[in-house]
Structures are given as C-alpha cells and as structure tokens.
Amino acid sequence: MLNLIRNEWMKLWHKKATWIMAGLIVLILIGVSGITKWADSNMQQPGNQPSWEQSLAESKAIYTTQLADPNIDEDTKKQMEEEIAIIDYRLDENQAPATGDSRAQHILDSHVLLSMAILFAVIAAGSIVSAEFSQGTIKMLLSRPVKRWKILTSKYITSLLYALALTILALLATILAGYMFYDSGSMTILDYQNGSVVEVSYWGRVFALYSLQFVGIVIYTTFAFMIGSVFRSSSLAIGLSIFLLFVGPNIVFFLSRYEIAKYIIFAHTDLTMFITGQMFIPGITWPFSVAIISVYMLIFLVISYLSFIKRDVKA
Amino acid sequence: MEQQPIVELKQLSKTIGKKKIIDNLNLSLFPGQITGFLGPNGAGKTTTIRMMAGLMKPTSGEVVVEGQTLNEHFEETMSKVGVIVENPEMYKYMSGWKNLVHFARMNKTITTERIKEVVDQVGMQNRIHEKVSTYSLGMRQRLGLAQALLHRPKFLILDEPTNGLDPAGIREFRTYLRKIAAEDGVSVFVSSHLLSEIELMCDRIAVIQNGQLIDIREMNQKEEAHYYIEAQPVDQTREFLVSQGFILETSGAGYITKVEQEKIPAIIQSMVAENLQVFAVQPFRKTLEDQFLEMTGGGQIAESHKK
C-alpha cells in the first residue's frame, strides 16, 4: 500500500497543475494580506479613537439591552451572556483584545481563506481517478497484481494528503504574510468554558480552527473523488463540487426554517462554528455533526468503491 | 500436447446489454508456444483479451492461470501475466524510467537492477530518462514491452503489439518473442490484424468470429501439396490434366491442383510430350490471409454488431 501511495504521490507532483496550485495558494494568500493591509492603511482613521476599554463597555451595554428583550431564544441568550462574561474578564484583568490589524488576529482570521485550499484539493481529487481513464493509463494500472480496492484507496489517501499539504502551506503562507505586513498583537484568547472565562493557548486555537476547516476540506475532497471515480469526468467532479461549495450553504440557509436543514451535509461543512459561536442552524451539537458527517462520508466512499471495483474497462 | 497448459479459458462468456460478445470460449495456452489470435473486427478479440487481463469480468466461465482462477486469486494470477493492451498508454508527463519504477512498485520483488536489465533488453538505455511525451510511437511500444516483462511473466498477452513499429523493429520484436518463448518457456498470446506478421511469429492460431472460437490450427501442420500449373494453349492443357484425373481450379492464366511432389517431373514430361508449352509449375501455398478469409467467410464485420 505504501508503494501505491508513493506512486500516486509521484504522479501527482509530476503534473504541472499541482505545482501551480501550490504556488498560487502561497501567492494569493500573501497577496490578499498585502492588499488588505494597504487598504487599511489608506483609510483615514478618525482622530479620537475610543480606547479598547470604552469600546468594550459600549458592546457590553448593547448586549445588556438585547438581553432585556424577552423574545430572544435560549441559544442567543447564552451566547450573549458568555460575551459579557468575557468582556468583564478583559476589563478586570486589563487584557486588551487583539486589534483587527494585528498579526495575531490576522493569522487567527485567515482560516476563512482556506476555501482556496478546498478549490485546489477538489481539482486534484476530482481528476485523480478520471485522469487515468482519459489518458488511457487505466488499462496499464488495473492489469497488475494489485486488487482494485487497494488502488482506489491509495488514490483517496493521496488526495487527502494533497489537501493536507495545501492546508499546511496556506497556514505557513499566512504566518509569513503576518510577519511581513503586521505588527504583533495580543495573543491571549479568552474562552468561556464550564461557567467561567479561561485563557486558551493562541497556537492551540489556530490549530483548532485549521483542523476544523480541514474537516470541511475532507468532505468536499471526498465528494469530488466520488464524482470523479463514478463518472470518470474530472470537469464534472470539479464543477459540481465547486458549485456546491458556493450554493450548498445557501440551500441550508433557505431551508433553515425546516427540520430537514439539519440533515444536509452543508450545515456541517464549517465546523469552526463550534468555536466562533456563529451557528448556522441553532441547536446543532457536536455529536450530531460528527454523526451526519460520518454517514455522508460513508455513502460517498461506498459509492466510489462499488463503481470502481465493478467497472469493466472498455476502450 | 503433453504439457500442462499455463492458461485455460473455460466456457468464457461475456454479455454486454443484450449482446452476447463472447460465447462459450474454450482455449488452452501452453508454455513456450506463441498463439496468434485472429478474428474480424468486432469478433470479440479485445473483449477476450481484457477478460484475460483482469480489466473485464466474465459474465460466466473463467480464466484459469496455472490452476487458479483469475477472479478468486487476482493477485497471484496477475503476477504471472504480462499485458500490453492496444497502444501502451504511459504517463506522458514522466520519464520512461519513472513509468517503469511506477509499474515495478506494483509487483513484489522487482529490483532496480531488473528494471535496468529490461531497459537494456528493449534497447532504450539512451532515452529512458527523457519524458515519454518526447517518444515516438515505436519507442512507446518498446517501453510497453518493457513494462510487461518487468516481473518475468510466464504468460504474455499482446494486443496489436507491432502497431507503430518499423520493419526492423517488427523483426527484432518477433525474434525477441521467439527467444523468450523458446528459452524461458513463456507462453505468448498475440492478437493482430497483420496476418503475415502472425504467420511469421506464431506456432498456432486461434480464430474467433461472432464471439465463438471457430478454428484452432497448428501452423507447422503439413499442408497438402498444391501446385500451380501454367501452360499454353490453355484449353488443351485443361483437357490433358483432367484426363489425367486432376481436379482443377482456375487461378489467373493457369490452374491450381492437388498433386504430390513426386509426380511433378512425370507430369512435366508428359505435358512436354503433348506439345504443351509449359510456362510454370510451382508449389502453391495458401497464405494465412486466404485461409483466414475462407474461414471467416470474407471477414465481414461480425453480425452481432449490425444493428
């Protein structure tokens, strides 16, 4: 199996597109950081900036008035109470929050830009099987003393490894851009756990956000891999996956009033909601998300394996 | 044949949709023997070869390699089989060497030395590290042969192997196949449209039509002696020969007839005595092409493919 993965890895990196995608992700991430910094520095800052203590006090006042509203639901109420607790902690402990133009905040926010990595991971995964068919090399690949499920597994693992490589590359590019364009900022992350405010490790938080985003990447990669191996068409696989990447969350949004929305995979592709608290659909829990994702992934993989193993290779 | 067959096709059938592409095919292939596989377009050659190469699954029946069925013992059986299916498509964006390394990794126990050895055997040592996209068709064929030989297969399946080789290349290829068949006891199964090629290369031919095996014959079979006789005047020649009890078949300006070699001098003498002007008396051998067309009824496209 290790040899098969080495083969796939070798083939992947002998394609120009692979290098171009890896290079683009670095260029674009650094470019976006640079442009953001430039745009920010051109904005005229009003002279009398409120101190962070003042703005936090303002936010607290807003939350408090909102809390007074009897119509808000339980989840929102809880979230606001947590926010207030964190603000109180900052004011008491004299812990300034990271400003938007600090390196710390920039790296923390950058996990959102991982949709770039999704795009490229999907391109690689969608073509890793179909390319063998379009090149005609599938005949050479399958007339070997290796069972087909092993070949497909090596391709799937390679797709995931490439997605992982892109994610790590994106993180490194972001950190690099952070050092190029930004000054450091407060690296204290406050979180509300078990009824009290605690400080959590900065890099731990970055790692958590990236890991959760990576789960989303894995879902899209698996989907593209399935379409690519069932229909043997890389364009269909890539097109459909990217279409769903943009449209999927909207579908969930439109259906969010209904119970069914919870069972759509796109309600679970962005797991960072559990950290940021920006829940797509209220009332989703960790175990529920994990269950839904597992079921979908299982279905995707079963379909991929069945169609690949049963297929007669013609022409 | 006393030997145990290396490969046996047992009641192999393949139905795609409602069409029966291969119908109850039985064939045994023996070590050291080169078997040609002939048939008109659409007769089922490629389908048969793909089932033997593990690319298609038979609807019923089985492919047996040294007593093990391909379906149940895929890895064991395939490690004894080398395959070139049609044009050997390689990874064009990699060098020939890396392509071989790639395929070598899919077998157990192929060393770098073995890869080098095979590269030398097919005469590609000078350009093996260049990208396959720069290779000519002939070089790709050589690379295709190299990848099929890497694991020293006992059974070699070749689908249209000389496609794209120049005459020198074809001859070299033929000599090489003969050599591995004779020296290593490899059983070779070759499908080709080039009948003259098959004739020169094979010990035996199997002919398929409409998915059924219609004939298997040994190439070194003693053929009945036929002679071509041409003499003037034509009418008298025919009368004379018929009177001698020969059954004639017109062929161009002369006749073909079945006659034993020993009788030829006597016939010529008597024809001269009859004042016939003898232009030619020569052995006539039906080419494989003639035999093939005879067997397949003109080699039309298989009926099952007519809509």
Q: Residues 1-30, chain B: which have Cβ within 8 Å of A? A: 16
User: Do B50 and A313 make contact, defined as CB atoms within 8 angstroms?
Assistant: yes
- Residues B103, A140 contacting (CB under 8 angstroms): yes
User: Do B147 and A140 make contact, defined as CB atoms within 8 angstroms?
Assistant: yes
**Same domain membership, residue B244 and residue B95:** no
Q: What is the mean pLDDT of residues A137-144?
A: 91
Q: What's the complex ipTM?
A: 0.79
Q: Indicate the domain borders of chain A.
A: 2-27+57-310
**Same domain membership, residue B54 and residue B173:** yes
Least Cα distance to B153 among B253, B262, B50, B80 occurs for B80
Within-domain flag for B65: yes
Number of domains making up chain B: 2
Higher pLDDT, B294 or A135: A135
DSSP states of B60-98: EEEEEETTEETTTSHHHHHTTEEEE-SS----TTSBHHH
CATH number for the domain harbouring residue B155: 3.40.50.300
Phi, psi of B21 (to 5 degrees): -80, -45
User: Do A145 and B78 make contact, defined as CB atoms within 8 angstroms?
Assistant: yes
Residue A21: predicted pLDDT: 92
Q: Closest to B74 (Cβ–Cβ): which among A3, A140, A147?
A: A147
Q: What span, in angstroms and rounded, lies between the C-alpha atoms of A155 and A7? A: 9
Which pLDDT tens digit goes with each residue over B39-52?
A: 887 788 888 999 99
Higher pLDDT, A46 or A245: A245
**Same domain membership, residue B198 and residue B255:** no
Q: Please, what sign has the CA dihedral across residues B230, B232, B238, B244?
A: negative
Which pLDDT tens digit goes with each residue over A79-99?
A: 777 777 777 777 777 777 766
Among candidate residues B175, B199, B218, the one where a domain is terminated: B218
Among candidate residues B201, B218, B235, the one where a domain is terminated: B218
Residue B301: predicted pLDDT: 43
Q: Closest to B55 (Cβ–Cβ): which among A142, A145, A147?
A: A142
Within-domain flag for B245: yes
Within-domain flag for B83: yes
**Same domain membership, residue B230 and residue B202:** no
Enumerate the residues of chain B whose CB falls inside 8 A of the CB of residue A139: 53, 55, 83, 85-86, 89
**Same domain membership, residue B131 and residue B90:** yes
Position A304 confidence tier, pLDDT thresholds 50, 70, 90: very high
Instruction: Provide the 8-state DSSP code for A183.
Output: B
**Same domain membership, residue B264 and residue B118:** no
Element (H, E) at B28: strand B19-29
Enumerate the residues of chain B whose CB falls inside 8 A of the CB of residue A140: 83, 85, 88-90, 103, 147
**Same domain membership, residue B262 and residue B140:** no
Residues in Cβ contact with B263 at an 8 Å cutoff, skipping those fewer than 6 apart: none
The amino acid at A312: D
Which pLDDT tens digit goes with each residue over A215-240?
A: 999 999 999 999 999 998 888 989 99
Tokens read off for B5: 């067959």
pTM above 0.90, yes or no: no
User: Do A10 and B83 make contact, defined as CB atoms within 8 angstroms?
Assistant: no
Place of tokens 């659909």: A281
Beta bridge mates, B156? B82, B188
CATH number for the domain harbouring residue B237: 3.30.70
Within-domain flag for B112: yes
Residue A273 has pLDDT above 90, yes or no: no
User: Do A312 and B103 make contact, defined as CB atoms within 8 angstroms?
Assistant: no
Residue B299: predicted pLDDT: 47
Return the number of other C-beta atoms located less than 10 Å from residue B279's C-beta.
12
Higher pLDDT, A53 or A114: A114
Residue A8: predicted pLDDT: 93
Residue A168: predicted pLDDT: 92
**Same domain membership, residue B16 and residue B65:** yes
**Same domain membership, residue B275 and residue B148:** no
Instruction: State which residue of chain B sits closest to A146, comparing Cα positions.
Output: B75
**Same domain membership, residue B65 and residue B181:** yes
**Same domain membership, residue B259 and residue B209:** no
Enumerate the residues of chain B whose CB falls inside 8 A of the CB of residue A5: none
- Residues B195, B288 contacting (CB under 8 angstroms): yes
Position A157 confidence tier, pLDDT thresholds 50, 70, 90: very high
Q: Is A311 on the interface with B (CB under 8 A)?
A: no
Longest dimension (CA), chain B: 76
Give every residue of chain B whose pLDDT is below 70, as ranges: 1-2, 220-224, 286, 297-307
Cβ-based burial of A249 (10 A; exposed 0-12, middle 13-18, buried ≥19): middle
Domain of B200 in residue numbering reads as 7-218
Residues in Cβ contact with A65 at an 8 Å cutoff, skipping those fewer than 6 apart: none
Residue A271: predicted pLDDT: 82
Residue B303: predicted pLDDT: 43
**Same domain membership, residue B173 and residue B99:** yes
Interface probe with A: pick from B77, B105, B154, most Cβ of A within 10 Å = B105
Q: What span, in angstroms and rounded, lies between the C-alpha atoms of B109 and B105? A: 8
Position A164 confidence tier, pLDDT thresholds 50, 70, 90: very high
Q: What span, in angstroms and rounded, lies between the C-alpha atoms of A129 and A156? A: 9
Angle of helix A74-93 relative to helix A52-68, nearest 10 degrees? 150
Q: What span, in angstroms and rounded, lies between the C-alpha atoms of B61 and A306? A: 22
User: Do A137 and B89 make contact, defined as CB atoms within 8 angstroms?
Assistant: yes
Which pLDDT tens digit goes with each residue over A35-62?
A: 887 887 777 666 666 677 777 778 888 8
Q: What span, in angstroms and rounded, lies between the C-alpha atoms of A78 and A59? A: 16
User: Do B89 and A136 make contact, defined as CB atoms within 8 angstroms?
Assistant: yes
Residue A85: predicted pLDDT: 79
